Structure 1
Amino acid sequence: MGRYAVGDLQGCLEPLQCLLEEVAFNPSQDELWLVGDLVNRGPHSLEVLDFLYPIRHALTVVLGNHDLHTLALARGATTQGRHASLESLLSSTQLPAYMDWFRELPLCVRSNCGEYLMSHAGVPSQWSTEDALGYSAELQAVLSEDQQVDAFLQNMYGNEPACWNDGLQGFDRLRMITNTFTRMRVTRQNGELNLKYKGRIEDIPDGYAPWFTWPTASPRRETQLFGHWAALDGKLDQPGYIPLDTGCVWGRYMTLLDMDSREFHRCHCEPAQ
């Protein structure tokens, strides 16, 4: 049995298929981990889900910000930011099934043996692994509940609150959990998020640093798999962290990690139009 992890797909199907063919992926016996942002911006969001949904039994997937935004569009919770690349998906007869699947997905997962922890943007130093898994379960429960999901999606957007505290409640708490797992790149030492910055490490504003550089409040033995920050280009000299978003949708490449050998495979991508 092989285990593989792949960075942000964002509607790019052919590079994914190229990588899976290279490692002879077999969904009847292998596992594929996906760090979120399955859809949006790339040319084949519908086709990506057409490909993944039948093999979902072999997948471990966390939600990214683009996945949650697509869910909000599909359910009418927002009409803003409807990228043209999503039109075929949003008009597909398969949309309800695919969005029901999204509603079942977590924001953070840990491997059975405890050697990997995966979320779309990462897990901040202030949260223990158990904290993170608990907060993910909180949000997943809301997404799966018919009476709560639409109100959450309508109130999901925004950059506040910017700093976690255990006393947060209601939509502020859910928005903070969501933003941390799906949008985080740089923070202050106290965990305060700067959600506007998307650039290189070298250009980070004073007072902020990459979330993964701050010392953890409690020791974490898992290696973190994350995506979201394409500007890192998959290059990070930081033990315990593996960035997998290598900018496929921008015309760079898609990355696959063999989770057992730690070997990387890459496939070059055409930029999305």
Structure 2
Amino acid sequence: MSIYLIGDIHGCFDELKIILGQVQFNPVADTLWLTGDLVARGPNSLEVLRLVRSLGDSVRMVLGNHDLRLLSIYAGISRNEPKDRMTALLKAPDIEELINWLRCQPVLQVDEEKKLLMVHAGITPQWDLATACQCALEVETELRSDSYPLFLDAMYGDMPNYFSSELSYLARLRFSTNVFTRMRYCLPNGQLDMSCKDIPNKAPPPLRPWFMLPSLVSECYSIVFGHWASLMGQGTPSNIYGLDTGCCWGGKLTLLRWQDRVFTYVPSNYQNKVSIKKCIMA
């Protein structure tokens, strides 16, 4: 039995099928972990959602910001933009089933036996694991409720940018959603900065990537995340793995086999490529 972790798919269905074939993924014996952002920007979001849903309990995934955007578009809160490339998905006959399945997915995965966490964007250094799990549960409960459109309508916004026990419930939900699905940078005190998207060596001081700040969580767990394609999987501490390598932007789709830390890469537009690179993490 193997655990395979795959970075942001973004509708890149062909590359997903190829990479699963390369490692001979067996849904009966293996488990597939997905870092979120299954949809948008790539060409085949509908096919990706149908495939992942069909795999049932062999998949452990988290929701990303583009997955939440799909839910928001479906609920009539956000506008479907051509760049999202989700029109075929939104017009699909099974869209309601897919939406109801998607909004029941978590924003945080924890495997205590393997001391492994997965999230789309990151874990704020202000949280210990118990706080992260509680905040994740609150977001997940709202998404699974019949009133989820009300939550989505209040979700967007960059404030508050600092966690406190004094935050109202709604403010805490927005902060948590930003941490789990949008965060890249923090100030040294853990305050979120939601504006900077540059690579770390171009970020203005004193901003630092969330994974470079002291953390109670990363001291005890390995963390796998997506979201930050421009990192191309580089520059993180040894126990933190960034798996979004920009397949929908012409990069590659990345898979990590957890047992031996072997990476498999499939280039975007794979039909025009001939090689798959593998490396073993030092």
Q: TM-score range by the shorter chain?
A: over 0.9
Change (3 A) 1:81 1:128: farther
Change (3 A) 1:104 1:181: same
Distance in 2 (alpha carbons) for counterparts of 1:115 and 1:218: 10
Structure 2 residue 78 is matched with structure 1 residue 78:
yes
The aligned runs of 1:52-63 (5 Å cut-off) are: 52-63=52-63
**1:179-230 CA distances to partner (integer Å, 9 max, x unpaired)?**
0110000100222111121121101111110001111246631100000011
SS in 1 for 2:86: helix
Distance in 1 (alpha carbons) for counterparts of 2:84 and 2:6: 24
Q: Which residue of 2 aligns with 1:50?
A: 50
Q: Which residue of 2 aligns with 1:89?
A: 89
Q: Is the 8 A contact 2:255 2:264 kept in 1?
A: yes
TM-score between both structures, scaled by the size of structure 2? 0.92
Structure 2 residue 27 is matched with structure 1 residue 41:
no
Identity %: 36
Distance in 1 (alpha carbons) for counterparts of 2:260 and 2:28: 20
Change (3 A) 1:116 1:217: closer
SS in 2 for 1:224: strand
Q: Is the 8 A contact 1:35 1:62 kept in 2?
A: yes
SS in 2 for 1:215: coil
Q: Is the 8 A contact 1:9 1:16 kept in 2?
A: yes
Q: Is the 8 A contact 1:139 1:177 kept in 2?
A: yes
Q: Is the 8 A contact 1:129 1:220 kept in 2?
A: no
Shift of 1:114: 4.0
SS in 1 for 2:155: coil
Shift of 1:56: 2.4
Q: Which residue of 1 aligns with 2:135?
A: 135
Q: Is the 8 A contact 2:218 2:239 kept in 1?
A: no
Distance in 2 (alpha carbons) for counterparts of 1:158 and 1:259: 35
156-165 vs 34-43, greater mean Cα deviation: 156-165
Q: Which residue of 2 aligns with 1:117?
A: 117
Change (3 A) 1:214 1:36: same
Q: Which residue of 2 aligns with 1:64?
A: 64
Q: Which residue of 1 aligns with 2:188?
A: 189
Distance in 1 (alpha carbons) for counterparts of 2:188 and 2:261: 30
Q: Is the 8 A contact 1:8 1:34 kept in 2?
A: yes
Shift of 1:19: 1.0
Shift of 1:239: 2.0
Instruction: Give 5+ residue unaligned stretches, structure 1.
Output: none
Q: Is the 8 A contact 1:245 1:254 kept in 2?
A: yes
243-252 vs 111-120, greater mean Cα deviation: 111-120
Distance in 1 (alpha carbons) for counterparts of 2:218 and 2:23: 33
Structure 2 residue 48 is matched with structure 1 residue 21:
no
The aligned runs of 1:232-247 (5 Å cut-off) are: 232-247=231-246
SS in 2 for 1:104: coil
Q: Which amino acid aligns with 1:85?
A: R
Change (3 A) 1:82 1:69: farther
Q: Is the 8 A contact 2:35 2:226 kept in 1?
A: yes
Distance in 2 (alpha carbons) for counterparts of 1:218 and 1:226: 14
Change (3 A) 1:80 1:47: closer
Distance in 2 (alpha carbons) for counterparts of 1:250 and 1:170: 37
SS in 1 for 2:118: strand
Shift of 1:115: 1.8
Q: Which residue of 2 aligns with 1:150?
A: 149
Q: Which residue of 1 aligns with 2:280?
A: none
Instruction: Give 5+ residue unaligned stretches, structure 2.
Output: 271-282
Q: Is the 8 A contact 2:109 2:117 kept in 1?
A: yes
Q: Which residue of 2 aligns with 1:223?
A: 222
Aligned length: 270
Distance in 2 (alpha carbons) for counterparts of 1:217 and 1:2: 28
SS in 2 for 1:9: coil
Distance in 2 (alpha carbons) for counterparts of 1:102 and 1:219: 28
Distance in 2 (alpha carbons) for counterparts of 1:199 and 1:120: 18
SS in 2 for 1:155: helix
Distance in 2 (alpha carbons) for counterparts of 1:211 and 1:64: 17
Q: Segments of 4+ in structure 1 off by > 2 A?
A: 77-84, 217-220
SS in 1 for 2:138: helix
Distance in 1 (alpha carbons) for counterparts of 2:34 and 2:260: 17
Distance in 2 (alpha carbons) for counterparts of 1:55 and 1:218: 30
